[in-house]
Amino acid sequence: MQNFTYQAAPMRVIFGRGTLNQLASELTRLGVARALVLATPNQAQQASSIAAMLGQQAAGVFAQAEMHTPVGVTDRAMAYAKELAVDGVVAIGGGSTTGLGKAIALRTDLPQVVVPTSYAGSEMTPILGETRDRLKTTQSSPKVLPETVIYDVDLTLTMPPSLSATSGLNAIAHAVEALYARDRNPIISLMAQEGIRNLAQTLPKIKVDANDAAARTEALYGAWLCGSCLGAVGMALHHKLCHTLGGSFNLPHAETHAVILPHAVAYNASAEPHAMAEIARALGAKDAALGLFELAGELGVRRSLRDIGMREQDIDHAADLAVKNPYWNPRPVERDAIRGLIARAFAGSSPVDDVKPQAVFAQ
Ligand code: NAD
């Protein structure tokens, strides 16, 4: 075993079914008497019922969270928080709502309770990406870490089937890159393998029955593990590509992860055979990249950048952007090879050379 550094995350985590009923006592524990409840417009009703459940402990609801945390939305939420004189925030939703809670915490240091309802994993990381004038900038600060995270499996039962699949693959991507991270460590590698295994086994069950509570429980546990990986070690090519493609071409976050992951893994395969074996084993597949591509096919998610809104004429520009300020990556990031990767992902081809997608993967 090589020398390593491991930094534990300070968040208090409450996990299970029906755990939302501990929200009021958690707020009390944190000394919060007037919380602002955050959500996206889609989950406004859920946020209102939570505010009603909290009674006087909730000062109001701000249900305008948006993908990629636009600064304009944060400004509006900040003004509302000030007007209501809130002393804490509750974020209920996916990564978009968590992002808004983090942005408020960064500016105010208010305590946060996050109740994640997707598998994105943002609640476990000190990372905040904000968008101003369509430009996304990312920073890392311990100030944005939530004080408490309440995982309530029951709240994930309503996650739309397509988001369940893509968000699950988004979570797997965090664990995959943790296994070949420059600053990997054995604790996080254990969590990563367990997270991949949990999600790979349960996402297909959830596709068949979105209300399968046992599968939903395992999946959310897996997502927590994967989010912890994202918060603990550095990410590489896959996350850089998704960041670039999502930010520059306005592609949907989780779906972009789902398309790119097998291709980024194939790119890194020769540089990281040990990590590839770990990923393949956790997936129950013979090959890491192919296993991920097959899993995406089994889940019925879109596997080409074309299908999620990218234009063919943008491939070269995307390759240029992807090699600018690259993240550390186990295999050198070379422009031609990256262009090839993006072209394959654009077409939805297999990530591995000698396999014809139509022959192997029936959707
Ligand atoms: P999202 O939060 O945008 O959710 C997508 C839609 O699904 C929203 O309308 C949401 O309200 C709805 N939804 C979520 N859970 C639901 C449920 N259980 N039932 C019904 N509807 C539900 O999407 P996401 O993929 O969770 O998050 C993506 C965002 O998170 C991106 O902006 C991404 O950059 C960010 N993110 C940040 C980090 C980080 O560490 N900073 C990590 C992962 C993702």
Q: Which residue has its alpha carbon closest to ligand 1 atom 20?
A: 159
Query: Does residue 233 surpass a pLDDT of 60?
Result: yes
Q: Which residue has its alpha carbon closest to ligand 1 atom 34?
A: 68
Query: What contacts 262, CB < 8 A, 6 or more positions away?
Result: 289, 290, 292, 293, 296, 351
Q: Which residue has its alpha carbon closest to ligand 1 atom 26?
A: 94
- Residues 120-136 have a mean pLDDT of 91
Q: What is the pLDDT of residue 265?
A: 98
pLDDT in tens, 84-109: 999 999 999 999 999 999 999 999 99
Query: Does residue 39 surpass a pLDDT of 60?
Result: yes
Question: Closest ligand 1 atom, CA of 254?
Answer: 25
Q: What is the pLDDT of residue 357?
A: 45
pLDDT in tens, 159-201: 999 999 999 999 999 999 999 999 999 999 999 999 999 999 9
Confirm if 144 and 128 have CB atoms less than 8 A apart. yes
Query: Does residue 328 surpass a pLDDT of 80?
Result: yes
* Cα–ligand 1 centroid distance for 46 (angstroms): 15
Total residues found in the chain within this entry: 363
Most confident option among 133-142, 290-299, 351-360: 290-299
Query: Does residue 346 surpass a pLDDT of 50?
Result: yes
* Cα–ligand 1 centroid distance for 234 (angstroms): 21
Q: What are phi and psi of 61, to 5 degrees?
A: -125, 135
Q: Read out DSSP for 144-205?
A: GS-SEEEEEHHHHTTS-HHHHHHHHHHHHHHHHHHHT-TT--HHHHHHHHHHHHHHHHHHHH
Candidates 17, 37, 62, 67: which one to mutate for ligand 1, based on the most atoms within 8 Å of Cβ?
67
Question: Closest ligand 1 atom, CA of 128?
Answer: 41
Arithmetic mean of pLDDT over the chain? 95
Provide the residue type at 325 as one letter.
N
Query: What contacts 273, CB < 8 A, 6 or more positions away?
Result: none
Q: What is the pLDDT of residue 354?
A: 56
Q: What is the pLDDT of residue 48?
A: 98
Query: Does residue 361 surpass a pLDDT of 90?
Result: no
Confirm if 27 and 163 have CB atoms less than 8 A apart. no
Q: What is the pLDDT of residue 360?
A: 38
Share of the chain above pLDDT 90, in %: 91
Query: Does residue 358 surpass a pLDDT of 70?
Result: no
Query: Does residue 363 surpass a pLDDT of 50?
Result: no
Q: What is the pLDDT of residue 362?
A: 35
Query: Does residue 326 surpass a pLDDT of 90?
Result: no
* Cα–ligand 1 centroid distance for 98 (angstroms): 8
pLDDT in tens, 253-312: 999 999 999 999 999 999 999 999 999 999 999 999 999 999 999 999 999 999 999 999
Taking the CA atoms of residue 93, residue 246, residue 303 and residue 171 in that order, the dihedral angle to the nearest 10 degrees is: -40
